[in-house]
Amino acid sequence: MEIRRLELFYLRMKLRDEFRTSFGSVQERPVVLVRVEEKGGEEGWGELVADHGPWYSYETYDTSSTIIRNFIAPIVLQREIQDVYDFHAAVSRIRGYPMAKTAVEEALLDLYGRLEGKSIADIVGGVRKEIVSGVSIGIKRSIDQLVSEVETRLEEGYRRIKIKIEPGHDVEPVKAIRDRFGDIPLQVDANGAYTLRDMQVLRKLDNYGLLMIEQPLAWDDLVEHSILSRKLTTPICLDESIKTLGDLLVAYKLGSCEIVNVKPARVGGILRAKEILETAARLGIGAWIGGMLETGVGRAFLVALASHPAVNYPNDISASDRYWEEDIVEPPWKLTSNGTLEVPRQKGIGVEVRTDLIEKSLVEKWSATK
C-alpha cells in the first residue's frame, strides 16, 4: 500500500446527554478522524478516541494527534507499508500512545479491506452475523433519573446494563435497579475509584449477583486486584490495567481478573486486540469489547472485533443514537429487535462516511502528503 496522503479531521460533537464517570464528565467529545489515501485514490478511515484530558489514560486528543502528525504520519508516508503488521513494526519505536497508533492502524485496515474486498470482520477472524449490544450508563444526578434511564434502555432492547459507580454512588443505585428490574444482566464500572480500604462497600456489592465488577481499583494495578479477586465471588473485569498482551499474562498468573474488557484504542490497535482476544480464550479468561463513546467510524471496528469467537459477554457497543443526534456514517448503527447490531460484510468498515456531516462539525483540518 503506497499512501500518498494522511488527513486529520478535528470535530467537536455534542453528546445527546452528559456522560459522567468517576474520573469526570463529558458533554462534547473532541473527535479526530484519520483519513488515508493510497496512490490509486482508494481511502480508509479511522478514529482517535482520546478525550480532552488525561483522565482515562495519559493520552489526550491534542497530544495524541501531535504524535500522529509528527511521528506516525511521516512513517506511513515515507516508507511503503506492505501491510498492517508492517505498520505495527514501524511504529513500535514510538513508546506508548496506543490511541494514536490505533487511529492510524484503523484507517490502514479500512483501506486494506477496501482494496482486497474484505470486511474488517473477515480480517480479524470474526464469525458472528450479529453482536450482543449492552449499554453503559453514566452517573446521574439522582437515583430516580438512573432508574428511569435503565428502564428506557431495557425498553429499547439493550441486552445488558452497565452503570458507572464511585464511592458514595454504588450500593444504593445497584439496589434500586435490582429492586425495580429484578435479575437483569447488570454490571458496574468504577474506573479505578476504590482501594482495598473500601472492602466493606465492595463486599456489599458482591451480594447483588452482578455479572462483573469492572476496574474497581487503580488504573495501573494488577497486584491489589489479585488480592481483591480472592475476596469476592463476583468476577473482576479489568479495563484500564490491561494495556498489553503481557499485562494479560501477568493478570492471569496473579489471578487479577476473570474477564477482560478489550478496547482496541487502549491496547494499540485492532490486531493487538485480536491477539488479546485469542489469548484470553486460550487462558479461559472471559472477554467482551468495550467502547470510548465512538462515532460510527470507531464503532465499526468494535462491531467487527465483537464478532470474534472469543467474545463471550455482551459488549459496550450501543447504537449510534445512544450518543449522537446524527452519526457521521450511513447507515447509522441500529439496534435490531434482538438487542444486537448486525456485522457488515461489505469491504472495509462497511458503512459510508458522511463527509457532508463532517464538514458541519469541523473545527480544524490537517493534512500531509508524500
SS3 of 293, please?
A: coil
**Structure-derived torsion over alpha carbons of residues 91, 96, 102, 105, reported in degrees to the nearest 10:** 0
- Which of 239, 247, 327, 342 lies at the binding interface for ligand OSB (CB under 6 A)? 239
φ, ψ of residue 28 in degrees (nearest 5): -135, 130
The interface partner of residue 318, options being Mg ion, ligand OSB, none and the CB cut-off 5 to 8 Å by kind, is ligand OSB
Q: From the CB of 92, what's the least distance to Mg ion, in Å? A: 26
Q: Which of 162, 263, 274, 347 is catalytic?
A: 263
Should residue 239 be labelled a site residue for Mg ion when binding is judged by CB under 5 A? Answer: yes
From the list 125, 135, 181, the residue with the least C-alpha distance to 19 is 135
Q: Nearest 5°: CA angle at 96, between 93 and 99?
A: 115
From the list 325, 270, 273, the residue with the least C-alpha distance to 298 is 270
Tell me, by CB under 6 A, how many residues bind ligand OSB: 11
Q: What's the start-to-end Cα distance of the chain, in Å? A: 13
- Which of 7, 189, 294, 327 lies at the binding interface for Mg ion (CB under 5 A)? 189
Answer whether the bond into residue 331 is a cis peptide, omega within 30°.
yes
- Which of 57, 60, 136, 295 lies at the binding interface for ligand OSB (CB under 6 A)? 136
What element of type H or E holds 4? strand 3-21
Q: From the CB of 55, what's the least distance to Mg ion, in Å? A: 12
Q: Which of residues 75-134 bind ligand OSB (CB under 6 A)?
A: none
Q: Of 298 and 350, which CB lies nearer to ligand OSB in the complex structure?
A: 298
d(CA 328, CA 332): 8
φ, ψ of residue 337 in degrees (nearest 5): -70, -10
Q: Which of residues 32-71 bind ligand OSB (CB under 6 A)?
A: 56
Grid coordinates given for 359? 464538514
Q: From the CB of 67, what's the least distance to Mg ion, in Å? A: 23
Q: Of 97 and 323, which CB lies nearer to ligand OSB in the complex structure?
A: 323
Should residue 264 be labelled a site residue for ligand OSB when binding is judged by CB under 6 A? Answer: no
Should residue 291 be labelled a site residue for ligand OSB when binding is judged by CB under 6 A? Answer: yes
Q: Which stretch binds Mg ion (CB under 5 A): 40-48, 117-125, 165-173, 211-219?
A: 211-219
CB atoms within 10 A of CB 25: 11
For residue 69, the 8-state DSSP code is I
Q: Which stretch binds ligand OSB (CB under 6 A): 4-12, 153-161, 242-250, 288-296?
A: 288-296
Amino acid at 60: T
Should residue 268 be labelled a site residue for ligand OSB when binding is judged by CB under 6 A? Answer: no
Q: Of 136 and 320, which CB lies nearer to ligand OSB in the complex structure?
A: 136
φ, ψ of residue 183 in degrees (nearest 5): -90, 45
Which spans of this chain sit near ligand OSB (rule: CB under 6 A)?
Answer: 56, 136, 189, 191, 239, 290-293, 316, 318
Residues identified as active-site: 164, 263
The footprint of Mg ion (CB under 5 A) covers 189, 214, 239
